[in-house]
A and B are shown apart, each in its own frame.
Chain A
Amino acid sequence: MTVNVLELNNIWVSYPDENGSLLKRLFRRERKLFWALKGIDFTVQKGEVLGVIGRNGSGKSTLLRVLSGLIEPDKGEYVVRGQRPVLLSLGAGFKPELSGLDNIYLNSLLLGHRKEDVDAKLEEIIRFSELDTFIYKPVRTYSAGMRARLAFSTAITLDPDILLIDEVLGVGDEAFKAKCRQAIMEKVQDGRTVIIVTHSAHLVKQICNRVVWIHLGEQKAVGDTKAIIEEYQAFMKGKSS
C-alpha cells in the first residue's frame, strides 16, 4: 500500500508586485500580483524519489518554499502527513565569527532538529566533514569548500524523513562532491523520501522514480521519469533552436 506523505491540491502562489514607491503602492486600488505557481497538483509517496524539473524562473524555488512550509499558498491545499520536509540548505545562518562546532549546533537547531540529536550525531558530522581540528576554528577562516563541507555534513547527517534537495550540489572538490552524491544515493536506497529540484535532466534520469515538470508556474506533466524527460528534452531543444 502506498502512503501519500505529501499532497498538493491545486496550489496557487502569488508574489506582490513591488514596483513603485510606498505612496504609489498605498494609493493604487488594485494590487498587482505575480503568479509564480498556477495550480500545482501532485502527491509524494513514502519512499519515492521525486524529481522536479523546469528551466530557470519556472517556479521551482517557490515550490520548494511551499514544500518546506516557508510560505503558505494563496489558494489550494497542502497536506503533510508526518514530519514537514526540510530543505537541505547549505549553511543558512552560519555565523562567521563562531567556530565550526558552534555553527553545527546553530544550523541544526535552525533546521528544526533537537539539541539531543545533534549531541548524539556530533562526531559523525565532524567525521563526514573531514574538517578535523579546523572544527574549533571560526568559520570565517574557512575556504568556500570547507564551509560547504560543514554545511552539507550537518544537513545530511541529521536527516529528516523527507529530504528536499535544491539543484546539483556544486560544493567542494570532486572527491567531496562524489561523497555527497553517494550520501544522497544511500538515503535513496534507504527508502527515504527524497525530492530533488533541478534543471538537469541527467540527474533526474539517474535517480528519480517520478517527475513533475513545471513550466512558467504551470504543471506541464507528472508521472513516469522516462517519458517526461524525453518530452522535456524535446521541448527544451525546440525552444533553443
Chain B
Amino acid sequence: MFILRKLVQDIRQHKDLIYYLTVSELKSNTARTYLGLLWWILDPVLYMLIFYLLVQVILQRGGEGYAVFLFVALIPLKWTTSCLVDGTKAIISNQRIIQQVYVPKIVFILSSLMVNTFKFAIGSVVMIIFIAASGVQLGPESLYYLLIVPVQLIVLLAGMIFLAHLGVYVRDIRNAIQYVARMLFFLSPVLYTMDQVPGKLASLLYLNPMTSLIVSYRSILLKQGEPLFIHLLVMALVSLILLYLALKLLFRYEKEYAKVI
C-alpha cells in the first residue's frame, strides 16, 4: 500500500515537472534541425523504408502489402526498444540534478516514457494513414488498439524502472541493452510471419513479449481479427506484479543513487 501511495503522491506533486521535462526533451530533440518537427513523422517512415528495401527489393521476399505489414510491427517495436535504451539512461543521465536536488527518480523515468510514447503516438497516426492509403479496410476491431497499447505501456514502465535502477550500478547494462533490443527485434515476427517459423520454435518465440503484441496488432489492424486476449491478460498481470516489485526496488534505493553516481 505504501508503494502505491508514494507513487500517486510523487506523481501528483511533480506533474508539472514531468510535463516540463518531457516537453523540453522533445524540444531539445528537434532544436537546431532544419526539418524540426517533421522528423517525428519522417523517423518511422524512413525506419520502415530501410527494411522494405532490404526484404522486398533486394531479397524479393515479403509479397503483397509488405510495407503495411512491416509498419504495423515496427512502430510498436521501435517504441519498446527506444524505451528500454532510454530507460537505462533515465537516472544516470540526470546525475547533475540528482547530486544537487532531491527529485523522486520515478519522475525521470516517467518523463522518458512519455517522450517515447509521444513519438509512438505520432508514429501510430502515420501508420493509420498509411494503412488507409494502402487500401486495407480498417474494421471496428482496430479499436482494440486502445486495449493493447496500455498493456504494452505497463510492460514498458516495469522494464524501464528495472533498467534505470540497474543502469546506476552496472554501467555495462547500457552496452548490453543494445543487443537485447536487437534480439527483441529479430526474435519476434517483425520481418516475417509466424507461419514461416518452424513449429517447435514458434512457441518459443512467444517467450518474447513482443511476439504476442505484434501478432495482436497485425490481427486487429490488417486482418480484422481479434487480439490474443489470453496472452495480453497474462502479460498485463505479470507486468503489474513486476511493476510493483520494480517500484519497491526504486523507492528503497533512490536515496543511494546520489552516493554512487
Contacts and interface: CB of A to CB of B under 8 A. Distances in A.
Contacts, number: 71
Interface in B83-137: 94, 96-103
Given A16-B259, A106-B21, A109-B17, A87 B31 contact: no
6 contacts: A15-B259, A22-B170, A68-B101, A70-B100, A110-B97, A112-B102
Top 9 nearest A-B pairs (CB, nearest first) are A97-B31, A89-B100, A92-B100, A109-B17, A97-B28, A93-B97, A69-B102, A115-B16, A72-B255
Contacts of A93: 94, 96-97
B153 interface: no
B28 A95 contact: yes
B24 interface: yes
Interface residues of B, number: 26
B101 A111 contact: yes
A100 to B, nearest CB: 13
Contacts of A71: 255-256, 258-259
B101 A89 contact: yes
A106 B260 CA distance: 25
A114 B256 CA distance: 26
Task: Please indicate which of the listed interface residues B28, B96, B101 has the most CB atoms of chain A within 10 Å of its own CB.
Answer: B101
A227 interface: no
Interface of B: 14, 16-17, 20-21, 24, 27-28, 31-32, 94, 96-103, 170, 172, 255-256, 258-260
A97 B27 contact: yes
B97 A65 contact: no
B256 to A, nearest CB: 7
A110 B94 CA distance: 11
Interface of A is mostly: loop
A84 B258 CA distance: 17
Contacts of A41: none
A65 B101 CA distance: 8
A16 B99 CA distance: 16
A70 B24 contact: no
Interface string A57-84: 0000000010011111000000000001
A185 interface: no
Contact of A65 (B20, B96, B258): B258
A18 B260 CA distance: 8
Contacts of A16: 259-260
A105 B20 contact: yes
A102 B27 CA distance: 10
